[in-house]
Structure 1
Amino acid sequence: MSISKIYWGGKYYPVPYENGLAGEGFAAGKALSIQAMPDMDCSRFYVNIAKWCSGIALHFNPRFDEKCVVRNSHIDGKWGKEERQGAFPLKAGVIFDLEIKNELNAFQILIDGEEFCSYTHRLEPCELCTIQISGDVDILDIQLQ
């Protein structure tokens, strides 16, 4: 027998969740790791990486009802063009690890250690200081490295 993850119930972080990213924030070269579990009846949830009051650099939005993961940015009060390429890697009620790496030209997004996609920066990758998570998901762990 092999055990890879144990979930003992309970929510570690309230949803919706919003918090500042301490120190130099989510600067280029940093990685944000989130361990979460979509609700059994999950429709949608999102993870936003944002500048304080001035736009969302990355909107990561798994949509179980559409079987796709939408990526986008919100700049100057407007949503940009959605990106939806790629398979749908998540399952309701199953814990997953999301890692977002902030590189100079793009966010690299991994799910359960596997490369999922790259999302080219539409806002400067510096001064990213806020994380927002909302929707049908339990958050188990958040780490900025």
Structure 2
Amino acid sequence: MVFTVKDISFQAGTELKISGKVKSDCEGFSINVGHDSDSVALHFNPRFTQCGDCRVIVCNSNNHGGWGDEHREPCFPFQQGEEFKVVITFNNETFYIKLPDGNMMSFPNRFGDDTFNHIEVLGGVKVNSIKVK
């Protein structure tokens, strides 16, 4: 499934809340925040069994085809067939991601930007809501 929101104003200091349900056969999904599908400042990718990984969250950025160094988070609070909520905030240095179990993780804002207008959710999840406030 692909869920894309374009021309949204996600600014530094605001919250992006994404809630949904992980499909029972999900291998992985991703939440991308950036300027378009080729300019992704935050690629948040929980992997159940995907790309040779098992139960790990991989974060990265992609600047027009050039992927950066991966950041791997061993905390994995997602369950197949279960509801989830992820809350993302950021400033021009760091993205902060609140995971479904309340744990926090961070990833550098490699673009240094303070506004993004493209949010995309890909993979084995059903999106229930996306809110920016």
> With structure 2 as the length reference, what TM-score do the two structures score?
0.89
Which residue in 2 is equivalent to 1:118? 106
The one-letter code of the counterpart of 2:106 is S
- Total equivalences in the alignment: 129
User: What is the 5 A alignment of 1:59-74?
Assistant: 59-65=43-49, 66-74=54-62
Q: How far did 1:68 drift?
A: 0.4
Specify the structure having the higher radius of gyration (Cα): 1
- Write 1 or 2 for the structure with the bigger share of strand: 2
Which residue in 1 is equivalent to 2:130? 142
The one-letter code of the counterpart of 2:71 is E
Runs of 4+ in 1 over 3 A off after TM superposition: none
Q: How far did 1:115 drift?
A: 2.9
Matched, 1:75 2:59: no
Q: Percent identity?
A: 29
Backbone CA RMSD of aligned residues:
1.6
Q: How far did 1:77 drift?
A: 1.8
**DSSP 3-state at the match of 2:103:** strand
**DSSP 3-state at the match of 1:84:** strand
Gaps of 5+ in 1: 1-14
Distance 2:30 2:77 in 1: 15
Distance 2:113 2:102 in 1: 23
> With structure 1 as the length reference, what TM-score do the two structures score?
0.82
Gaps of 5+ in 2: none
**Measured at CA, do residues 16 and 56 of structure 1 come closer, stay the same or move farther in structure 2, by a change above 3 Å?**
same
